[in-house]
Structure 1
Amino acid sequence: MAISLNKSRTIIRKALAHGRETELKPLSVIVLDSGGHVIAFEREDGAAPGRFAIAHGKAFGSIMLGMAGTAQMKRAEDQAYFMAAVNGVYGGQVIPVPGGVLVRDKRGRIVGAVGVTGDTSDNDAAAALAGIEASGLTGEI
C-alpha cells in the first residue's frame, strides 16, 4: 500500500490545523512515499522559505534509515560518526531530529514518512502525528 495523494493532503491539512489549534509558529509539512519521493508539500504563510529542505531532510532520513527522527537523534548523540557517514552517503539530506515521522499501514509496514518543521522539534513531531492519525495511518516518532 502507498500513501495516496488524498491521504497526503489529509495529513498536511490536519497537521497544519493542529499547529493552529496549539498556537505553533507557521509550519511546513511534507509527505514522502516509501522510496523517499515527494507526494505533497505545503508551507504556511509566514514560514521561512528554507523550510522545504528541513521538512524534507527530517522525512528523508526517516525513510532511508527506517527509523523516526527521535531514534535518529539518539543515534546521532551516541554515534555521531555514523550519522555523519550517513549524511555523506545521502548528500547531506538527513536531518536527524524529531519531526521526521515514519508512517505505517495497518499491517505495520512502512509506507512513507512525514516531515514537519517550523516550531520546536517535539511540537513538529506532534503536528505530524496528528495529521497521520487523522488519515487512518500510524505514525512512529
Structure 2
Amino acid sequence: MAEISLRRARTIIRKTLDHGKAAGMKPLSVIVLDSGGNPIAFERSDGASPGRYQIAHGKAYGAVMLGMPGSAQMKRAEDQAYFIACANGALGGALVPVPGGVLVRDGKGRLLGAVGVTGDTSDNDAAAAKAGIEAAGLEAEV
C-alpha cells in the first residue's frame, strides 16, 4: 500500500511553511493525513492561533474522506448544501469544506492522503499546500 512517510510529511510541512513565509502570508498551520484520515505530522507557525489544528485537520480530513479537495467541497456546498451538511454529520462534524484541503497523489495517481493548511486566505492556504506537496515530489489535487 502506498503511503506518505513521516520524512516526506515533514518535507511537505517545511516547504509549505517556507512558501507561506516567502509569499508574505500570515502564520500557517499544516497537517498531513494518511489515506485513512490519520495524522502523520502537524506544525503550527509561531504566531498561529491555537485553534488552527482543528481547522487544518478539518480541511484535510474532508478532502481524504470525500475524495475531493476543499475547492470541490466548497463548490458542492454552494450547489448542494444538504449533501455537505449530511456528509459533515456522518463524519462527526469534522469537515471544513473550503480550499486548503489538498489531496496528495503519487505519480500513478494513487491517493496517498491529504494536506490541510490554514492561517491565510483559503486560496493562499491551498497554494502553499500545493507548493509543499510538489516540493516533496508528489502530486497535489487542489
Q: TM-score range by the shorter chain?
A: over 0.9
Shift of 1:69: 0.5
Which residue is equivalent to 1:45?
46
- For the residues of structure 2 that align with 1:63 and 1:18, how far apart are their CA atoms? 23
| TM score, norm. by length of structure 1 | 0.99
1:101 counterpart SS class: strand
- Which runs of no fewer than 5 residues in structure 2 stay unpaired? none
| TM score, norm. by length of structure 2 | 0.99
Which residue is equivalent to 1:24?
25
1:63 aligns with 2:57: no
- Moved >3 Å (runs of 4+): none
> Any residues of structure 2 matched to 1:82-121 within 5 Å, and which?
82-121=83-122
Which residue is equivalent to 1:2?
3
Which residue is equivalent to 1:73?
74
Shift of 1:45: 0.6
Q: 1:36-57: CA deviations, max 9, x gaps?
A: 0000000001000000000000
Q: 1:43-78: CA deviations, max 9, x gaps?
A: 001000000000000000000000000000000000
Shift of 1:139: 0.3
- Which runs of no fewer than 5 residues in structure 1 stay unpaired? none
What is the identity, as a one-letter code, of the residue corresponding to 1:64?
Answer: M
Q: 1:88-130: CA deviations, max 9, x gaps?
A: 0011100100000000001001100000000000000000000
1:135 aligns with 2:116: no
Shift of 1:35: 0.2
Shift of 1:28: 0.0
What is the identity, as a one-letter code, of the residue corresponding to 2:47?
Answer: G
- For the residues of structure 2 that align with 1:52 and 1:18, how far apart are their CA atoms? 19
- For the residues of structure 1 that align with 2:66 and 2:88, how far apart are their CA atoms? 11
- For the residues of structure 1 that align with 2:13 and 2:51, how far apart are their CA atoms? 18
- For the residues of structure 1 that align with 2:34 and 2:110, how far apart are their CA atoms? 12
- For the residues of structure 1 that align with 2:112 and 2:96, how far apart are their CA atoms? 20
- For the residues of structure 1 that align with 2:22 and 2:46, how far apart are their CA atoms? 16
CA RMSD, Structure 1 to Structure 2 (Å): 0.3
